[in-house]
């Protein structure tokens, strides 16, 4: 029972560290990763040393050994996951915002196309698309954090004027090296 409580406490601490690091605005995982790795290097070997000493007095040595091996595999898996997250995290907030931007652009563009097909005319504003029910609300540009900063591309067709495309108004450069306003 004591061994299970130690494991649950360790897992709870790890979960809290991940949640705190991932939910912060300035996501900086290397700090909890280093703290977790340092305590792991102390706590885990001590735990397995105690398990080795208890092996002699265990009534079912096979089951006890299997349990300790399972714990070791889980520990190695958690260490690997933490290392992977800490190595891949410096760009994760930016990549997340880029995925949201791509999704919002795709949604607005497909909605503009559907609006034009259904009503046989192009919208004159994004508010018009919302007013007719094609969008619930104008999505927020995750790069500018505003929903009124979209750059609208207008039709050059004099017979059917209106919005044909949208772009982010952010001049920042993406993780791929292109400007968000060019997407």
pLDDT digits (tens, 9 = 90+) for 139-161: 999 999 998 999 999 999 889 99
Q: Which of 153, 146, 148 is nearest to 167 (CA)?
A: 153
Backbone angles phi, psi at 121, to 5 degrees: -160, 160
| Arithmetic mean of pLDDT, 10-22 | 61
Q: Which of 10-14, 65-69, 178-182 is the least confident region?
A: 10-14
> What is the length of the chain?
183
- The helix/strand count (H/E) of the chain reads as 5, 2
Question: How far apart are alpha carbons 105 and 31 in whole angstroms?
Answer: 35
Q: Between 125 and 27, name the one with better pLDDT.
A: 125
- The answer to whether 134 and 114 have CB atoms below 8 angstroms apart is yes
| Percent of all residues in the chain with a pLDDT value above 90, rounded to a whole number | 37
Neighbours of 90 (CB within 10 A): 13
Provide the 3-class DSSP secondary structure of residue 104: helix
- The answer to whether 88 and 35 have CB atoms below 8 angstroms apart is no
Question: How far apart are alpha carbons 39 and 19 in whole angstroms?
Answer: 18
pTM tops 0.85, yes or no:
no
Helix (H) or strand (E) holding 151: strand 151-154
Provide the 3-class DSSP secondary structure of residue 162: coil
Question: pLDDT tens for residues 41-94?
Answer: 777 777 778 887 888 888 888 888 888 788 778 777 877 776 776 666 555 678
pLDDT of residue 10: 65
Q: Between 137 and 41, name the one with better pLDDT.
A: 137
> Would the CA dihedral through 99, 100, 102, 107 be positive or negative?
positive
């Amino acid at each position: 029972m004591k061994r299970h409580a130690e494991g649950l406490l360790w897992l709870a601490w790890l979960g809290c560290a991940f949640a705190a690091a991932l939910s912060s605005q300035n996501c900086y995982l290397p700090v909890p990763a280093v703290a977790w790795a340092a305590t792991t290097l102390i706590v885990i070997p001590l735990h397995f040393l105690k398990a080795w000493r208890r092996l002699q007095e265990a009534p079912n040595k096979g089951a006890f050994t299997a349990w300790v091996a399972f714990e070791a595999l889980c520990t190695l898996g958690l260490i690997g996951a933490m290392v992977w997250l800490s190595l891949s995290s410096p760009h994760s907030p930016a990549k997340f915002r880029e995925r949201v931007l791509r999704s919002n652009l795709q949604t607005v563009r497909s909605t503009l196309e559907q609006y034009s097909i259904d009503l046989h005319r192009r919208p004159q504003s994004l508010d018009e698309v919302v007013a007719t029910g094609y969008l619930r609300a104008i999505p927020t540009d995750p790069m500018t954090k505003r929903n009124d900063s979209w750059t609208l591309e207008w039709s050059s067709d004099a017979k059917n004027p209106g919005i044909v495309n949208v772009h982010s108004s952010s001049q920042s450069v993406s993780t791929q090296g292109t400007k968000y306003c060019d997407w």
